[in-house]
Amino acid sequence: MHRSINLTEFILEEEKNHPKAKGNFTLLLMQLEYAGKVIASHIRKAGLADMMGTTGTVNASQDEVIKIDQYSNQLLIDTLSASGQVHALASEELEDIHYVEKENGEYVVFFDPLDGSSNTEINVTVGTIFSVYHKAENVLQPGNRQVAAGYILYGTSVMFVYSSGNGVHGFTLDPSVGSFLLSHPNMRIPEKGFTYSINEGNYSYYDQQTKAYINSLKETGEYKLRYFGSMVTDVHRTLLKGGIFMYPRDEKNKEGKLRLLFEVNPMSYLFKQAGGIAITDGGDPLDIVPNSPHQRAPIVLGSPENVKEYLKYLHS
């Protein structure tokens, strides 16, 4: 019987491709793996452990803070700070960059501790999104300098999906042994898909090009709308099944709604590694030089054929 390779083994094997590697990056990913397991455990019993409901506060992005979101955020801060590998970190929940003063770590980590956290109250999939950079004089770096990005999905199964520049690989947590096992090696997005993911409740606020594109999909009779309101969930489905995910700017969100450093950059990096396309206003989101930790940006990503078709409408 073939034995499945686990996440730790896979990371160590990848490290061999980098002769100058000292193991720091491996230790960092192992800490993220540990945090993901703990968060998954708490989500499984959220309704029993006083993790439901809001805290009565809003975060730096002006979103209402959910209790399980607050717990996940603090766990990641504590875990990454104690790893010895992190110079600075930033979270969607924190107003400013958090510098780990006692450690001389080599990496900067941006993370959304629990994307779609309000969905825990209705038992819908949520996830942790992370993005890793080398330490630099300015921690706000363009996405093309990412050394790794990924997400941990808490759904019917728990998945750890990441790339460090050598394709996208997915690992599923086997609860019987407590290990993430390689289940989706070298993930590739289909060239074309027949689902589109967008908040059509905002339809009246979209520009004419976006409206025309949505209408064209409906007119074919081939496409289905799938939208959870949790980016990590919608993006994961799009990555596996193909299609297009859109969160464009609109009259209410003139700069876009999703955060460049916490959501747009890591997902764009993953989609490019998986053979997909990611655009912001027709350009590459990974080229944007951030001016603040909570900068927002419009984003469209998906299968090559779907995004290219969207671009025809964008430039019409």
28, 29, 80, 114: which is the annotated catalytic residue?
A: 114
Task: Given the residues 32, 89, 93, 260, select the one marked as catalytic.
Answer: 93
Q: How far apart are CA 165 and CA 105, in angstroms?
A: 21
Three-state SS for 151? strand
63 is annotated as an active-site residue: yes
User: Does residue 93 carry a catalytic annotation?
Assistant: yes
Residue 168 near residue 271 (C-beta atoms within 8 A): no
Q: Which of 29, 80, 89, 112 is catalytic?
A: 112
Alpha-carbon distance 198 to 176, whole Å? 37
Which two three-digit tokens encode residue 169?
A: 């690989």
Q: Exactly one of 33, 92, 234, 250 is catalytic; name it.
A: 92
234 catalytic per annotation: no
- Catalytic residue at 96? no
Q: Which H or E run includes 115? A: strand 107-115
Task: Say which amino acid occupies 77.
Answer: I
For residue 12, the one-letter residue type is L
Instruction: Determine whether 114 is an active site residue.
Output: yes
Residue 91, C-beta contacts closer than 8 angstroms, at least 6 positions apart? 73, 76, 77, 98, 110, 111, 112, 113, 262
- How many C-beta atoms surround the C-beta of residue 183 within 10 A? 16
CA distance 220 to 127: 33
| Centroid of chain to Cα 183 | 19
Task: Name residues whose C-beta falls within 8 Å of residue 219's C-beta, 6 or more positions apart in sequence.
Answer: none
The yes-or-no answer on residue 200 being catalytic is: no
Q: Could you confirm whether 251 is annotated as catalytic?
A: no
**Please, how many CA atoms are within 13 Å of residue 226, restricted to the half-sphere of its CB?**
19
Q: Which residue among 33, 69, 234, 250 is the active-site one?
A: 69
Out of 263, 270, 286, 301, which one is annotated catalytic? 263
Can 270 be counted among the known catalytic residues?
no
Q: Which residues are catalytic?
A: 63, 69, 92-93, 112, 114-115, 263
